[in-house]
Amino acid sequence: MTDEKTKLSSGKTYHDDLSIVRSEVDKCMKCGNCMAVCPVYGVEKEEASVTRAKIKVVDAVLNGQLELDDPEVYNMIFNCLVCKSCMTNCPSKVDFGKIALAMRAALVRKKGLFWLKKMIFSTLKNPAVLNTGIKTAAAMQSIVFKADKDIKAISPRSPFALVGSGFGFDSNRKMPELNSKTLKDITPEVVKPDEVKVKVAFFVGDSLNYFYPDAGLDVIEVLKENNVEVHIPKAQNCCGIPVLVHGDIETARTLARRNIDTFEKTGCDYIITACGSCGGAWQHEYVDLLKEDPLYGPKAKYWSERTFDISTFLTKVIDFKKPKGEIRSIVTYHDSCHLKKSMKVFAEPREILKSIPGLEFREMSAPDNCCGSGGSFVISHYDTSQAIGKKKALDINSTGADTVATGCPACMMQLLDNINRFGKKQRVKHYITLLADSYRKERKSG
Amino acid sequence: MIDKSIINQLKGIVGEENVLTQKVDLVTYSYDATADVPTELPDVVVMPLDTEAVQKVVKLAREHKIAIYPRGAGTNLSGGTIPLKKGIVLSLQRMNNIVEIDAANLTATVQPGVVIATLNSAVAPYGLIYPPDPGTVATATMGGSVSECSGGLRGLKYGVTKHYIMGMEVVLASGERVRFGGKTVKNVTAYDFASLFVGSEGTLGIITEITCKLIPAPKYRRTMMGIFNTLEDAGNSVAGIIASQVIPATLEIMDNKTIRTIEDFSKIGLPVDAKALLLIEVDGMTDEVVEKEAEAVIAVLKKNNCQYKIANSDTERDQLWAARRNALPALASLNNTCIVEDATVPRSRITDMLVAVENIAKKYNVTIGTFGHAGDGNLHPTILYNKYDKEETERVHKAVDEIFESALKFHGTLSGEHGIGIAKMKYLKDEIGESGIKLMQSIKQAIDPENLFNPGKLVPFKEA
């Protein structure tokens, strides 16, 4: 493996050089355990859908058996939710997340972002999607693929933005309303409680900012209620995951560096997130992306250990104020993939929900099965995405719950759509909203 | 050999969306879970949805003399599904309906693509189980496991796949379908075809429906772990438990190399100096009987200088099982290539076999950790090496040769549960002799005269 070392010392990470993932590819025994959990395979029942097959194809590309820019190689590598379910079930602990990103980055290096964009739209198979997709195409062009270095142009955009820009995929598509005022517009940069126990900076992320500003306000309110000073820097950007998973490494790196600068300036002790993808970016992706950057590498490492999902912060870092306001509701909880499989957060949101008086918690079967969202996957592979989402909706129905809570805004959007189609009008909420509701009720009655 | 017109006819039979011809797809059906065997791209992958389609595909293949490789989830460990001579991979994963659960007759009837764990979830509400539990239960299909006669951890008490298959529907090389067996416990009509097709590794026909036996799920269990300073004490404990007339559901052993590797890998507090570890689970329908069996096991362990632990809760049971669960992943993490063998010996020769494998590892300077099903003599010597190192790979091959030689010397068998496939074909003669090979060849020729089904596996043939 001296080869690998030379490459690393040359300042490259697996994002820059596909051959760096060779040892990761070799770890795969082809045992097939990924088949038991891969949501895409579960629907399609085709070997090419599952992780071990994708690893085999990367192997074939590295060996020259297949061409990197074979359109079918592209199709296969992007037919994945990057939900990381396979990684939690892998006996050999293969980091498929790395392999997938390395492969996507290699594709973009070879063919460019424009080619990738064309490929994504060429795979829109559902005519209904294509129809309305024409409009979304225009939006998407400047959203995911804008590679220009003016990061300000990127920050207010994400793949979610196009989904919510008002036009659905078909007449049944339910989306959260697009708010005219974003979370960052309506909050001051610092929210101070009377008595300050600890100072944190809230990394909002695009989806909360644009689609669920109320859930974002709930995060701030809950923190304030627990005597936590909250900084919400206006200069913060998108976390970069949407561009990263589409192989746009340099934009992802720029976003990461800018976010690190912005949060460093707050002088806070911790970064709080309320989205599994954003939190995962701070905990893992920034470290990997900036590993060979002598200035930002150590900073990324520093913040990776100080970034917490709001639920972890409340239950493990501080001892949160137990809610007293009664919430009469039957609630089930959906584990967001990135929250559970990347950030390893699953017990904490349940602990919070169960602490709320009057709330009856009912576990659904397979709560950590993916909802089928996967960022732009919901657009590019709508049929598969909906088949996965339908299973989730049926599992939610079986609990008899009136509310499904989760910890990731992308999941909230997907749940909203699939509950509308297959569910029983259950409400979809960020779990933090239920805690905030309980605090509010207590204040009202007290 | 396969031209456009054949591809179009295949598409006509199963529908365009069930035929794969892109090179990327072909690459993904070129392998299975077996290390160190050749791989080959098929010409086409066909995914039929019903028996009629299977019949038509077989007829077409026969007409054009194209090889057919039936495939389930491709999790076997003998190279059993690799399309060695190109042709058609017939993936049965989309024939995955549970046809019927008949609780009154304790049977289930399934299509071949049903995953074993899915069947078990479906019969659980009736208080029933389908006991065969290979390590891949969550992914392997019924068709695949019937074709390979999978075993698993519960073999000693509950038997293996062949003990649960009561009837089948099979598509023959002629394209005809044949049904045999059924829901009756007793059935001596005709030859015992189920016995012939179970474990036939896809070489005799395409299994399109399976009727299997179910049993009531055991209600109580006790789990224990024993740690030993000598292999002899562990071996004597296995013999002692059986002699005391207890048949545990699980009786797993692992050697020192495995114990040390697991401890390095997952730090679960195993004593790294121990020479062997036994994981024992007894189960049954009443608490009293299970408790008595557990006591009998503990008495045997005490007599054999054993440090033991008993699980008093599900959490504690999980902790004891952690060692066994981590055995293969831990060993596999040692290098880039991992061969899992399944040489099996009579239970009374387990200790001899463990010692023999240790000596082979030393002799060839290769890394081998052994764990496995002590209760039924089925060991998994697991060999870890660097596939990019030619010289080491050669030593590994010699070590594997000698492992099989030892198993046969102890009156054991080449394969307890993984099958012959490609991987063990060259050793076959050592166990069943020339006459055995001839018998296999004549059966194969009688049923599949043109060698259409899964050529290059199980039955050795001189190339025509």
- For B52-76, the pLDDT digits (tens) are 999 999 999 999 999 999 999 999 9
Is B94 within 8 Å of B113 (Cβ atoms)?
yes
Average pLDDT, integer, range B114-125: 97
Distance CA A283, CA B169 (A): 53
Share of chain B above pLDDT 70, in %: 99
Is B174 within 8 Å of B423 (Cβ atoms)?
no
Listed residues A288, A317, A346: the one ending a domain: A317
For residue B144, which amino acid is it?
A: G
* Confidence at A176, pLDDT banded by 50, 70, 90: low
CATH code: domain of residue A188: 3.40.50
CATH code: domain of residue A400: 3.40.50.1860
Q: Is it the case that residue A163 has pLDDT exceeding 80? A: no
- In this structure, the answer to whether residues A298 and A335 fall within a common structural domain is no
- In this structure, the answer to whether residues A336 and A435 fall within a common structural domain is yes
Q: Give the domains, in start order, of chain B with CATH numbers.
A: 4-91 (3.30.43.10), 98-216 (3.30.465.10), 218-314 (3.30.70.3450), 334-444 (3.30.70.2740)
- In this structure, the answer to whether residues A194 and A310 fall within a common structural domain is yes
The pLDDT assigned to B268 comes to: 87
* Confidence at A178, pLDDT banded by 50, 70, 90: low
- In this structure, the answer to whether residues A291 and A364 fall within a common structural domain is no
Q: In chain B, which residue's Cα lies nearest the Cα of A74?
A: B24
Least confident stretch, A121-135, A392-406, A412-426, B114-128: A121-135
The pLDDT assigned to A158 comes to: 39
The pLDDT assigned to A173 comes to: 61
Inside any domain, residue A156? no
Inside any domain, residue A161? no
Inside any domain, residue A213? yes
Inside any domain, residue A239? yes
Q: What is the ipTM of this complex?
A: 0.94
Share of chain A above pLDDT 90, in %: 70
Is A375 within 8 Å of A157 (Cβ atoms)?
no
Inside any domain, residue A159? no
Listed residues A261, A295, A317: the one ending a domain: A317
Distance CA A83, CA A85 (A): 6
Name, in order, each residue with C-beta under 8 angstroms of A310's C-beta and a sequence gap of 6 or more: A219, A222, A223, A272, A273, A274, A432
Q: What is the DSSP letter of B124?
A: G
Name the 3-class secondary structure at B222: strand
Q: Each residue of A33-74: pLDDT tens digit?
A: 999 999 999 999 999 999 999 999 999 999 999 999 998 999
Mean pLDDT of chain A: 86
| Phi and psi at residue A349, to the nearest 5° | -60, -35
Listed residues A120, A142, A158: the one ending a domain: A120
Inside any domain, residue A92? yes
- Domain tally for chain A? 3
Average pLDDT, integer, range B136-142: 95
Cβ–Cβ contact A23 with B under 8 A: yes
The pLDDT assigned to B160 comes to: 97
- In this structure, the answer to whether residues A188 and A313 fall within a common structural domain is yes
> If we measure between CA atoms, which residue out of B325, B278, B322 comes closest to residue B298?
B278
Q: Each residue of B99-118: pLDDT tens digit?
A: 999 999 999 999 999 999 99
Inside any domain, residue A409? yes
Cβ–Cβ contact A138 with B under 8 A: no
- In this structure, the answer to whether residues A350 and A236 fall within a common structural domain is no
Q: Each residue of B72-88: pLDDT tens digit?
A: 999 999 999 999 999 99
Least confident stretch, A175-179, A414-418, B132-136, B303-307: A175-179
The pLDDT assigned to A172 comes to: 57
Q: Do A45 and B139 touch (CB under 8 A)?
A: no
Residue to test with chain A: of B20, B23, B24, most A Cβ within 10 A: B24
Share of chain B above pLDDT 90, in %: 92
Share of chain A above pLDDT 70, in %: 84
- In this structure, the answer to whether residues A416 and A299 fall within a common structural domain is no
Q: Do B24 and A35 touch (CB under 8 A)?
A: no
Q: Is it the case that residue A179 has pLDDT exceeding 70? A: no
> If we measure between CA atoms, which residue out of A250, A263, A262 comes closest to residue A290?
A250
- In this structure, the answer to whether residues A281 and A187 fall within a common structural domain is yes
Q: What is the pTM of this model?
A: 0.90
The pLDDT assigned to A155 comes to: 32
Cβ–Cβ contact B75 with A under 8 A: yes
The pLDDT assigned to A382 comes to: 84
Q: Is it the case that residue A97 has pLDDT exceeding 50? A: yes
Is B64 within 8 Å of B80 (Cβ atoms)?
no
- In this structure, the answer to whether residues A258 and A200 fall within a common structural domain is yes
Higher pLDDT, A165 or A65: A65
Residues of A in contact with B332 (CB under 8 A): 29, 91-92
- In this structure, the answer to whether residues A293 and A273 fall within a common structural domain is yes
* Confidence at B461, pLDDT banded by 50, 70, 90: confident
Q: Which of A26, A56, A60 faces B336 most closely, judged by CB atoms?
A: A26
Q: Each residue of B237-296: pLDDT tens digit?
A: 999 999 999 999 999 999 999 999 999 988 888 999 999 999 999 999 999 999 999 999
Cβ–Cβ contact B327 with A under 8 A: no
Which range of residues forms the domain containing residue A433? 329-445
**Calculated CA dihedral for residues A179, A146, A130, A212, nearest 10 degrees:** -20
> If we measure between CA atoms, which residue out of A372, A369, A366, A370 comes closest to residue A387?
A372
Q: Do B139 and A32 touch (CB under 8 A)?
A: yes
The pLDDT assigned to A123 comes to: 53
Distance CA B97, CA A218 (A): 46
> If we measure between CA atoms, which residue out of B459, B417, B352, B397 comes closest to residue B163?
B417
- In this structure, the answer to whether residues A353 and A417 fall within a common structural domain is yes
Rounded (10°) angle between helices B390-409 and B428-447: 90
Inside any domain, residue A210? yes
Q: Do A47 and B328 touch (CB under 8 A)?
A: no
The pLDDT assigned to A148 comes to: 37
Higher pLDDT, A117 or A421: A421
The pLDDT assigned to A10 comes to: 66
The pLDDT assigned to A164 comes to: 34
Output the 3-class SS for chain A: CHHHHHHHHCCCCCCCCHHHHHHHHHCCCCCCHHHHCCHHHHHHCCHHHCHHHHHHHHHHHHCCCCCCCCHHHHHHHHCCCCCCHHHHCCCCCCCHHHHHHHHHHHHHHHHHHHHHHHHHHHCCCCHHHHHHHHHHHHHHHHHCCCCCCCHHHHCCCCHHHHHHCCCCCCCCCCCCCCCCCCHHHHCCCEECCCCCCEEEEEECCHHHHHCCHHHHHHHHHHHHHCCEEEECCCCCCCCCHHHHCCCCHHHHHHHHHHHHHHHHHHCCCEEEECCHHHHHHHHHHHHHHCCCCCCHHHHHHHHHCCEEEHHHHHHHHCCCCCCCCCCCEEEEEECCHHHHHHCCCCHHHHHHHHCCCCEEECCCCCCCCCCCCCCCHHHHCHHHHHHHHHHHHHHHHHHCCCEEEECCHHHHHHHHHHHHHHCCCCEEEEHHHHHHHHHHHHHHHC
- In this structure, the answer to whether residues A307 and A341 fall within a common structural domain is no
Question: Taking CB atoms and an 8 Å cut-off, how many pairs form between chains A and B?
Answer: 85
Report the sign of the C-alpha dihedral through residues B270, B273, B274, B276, in that order: positive
Higher pLDDT, B153 or B463: B153
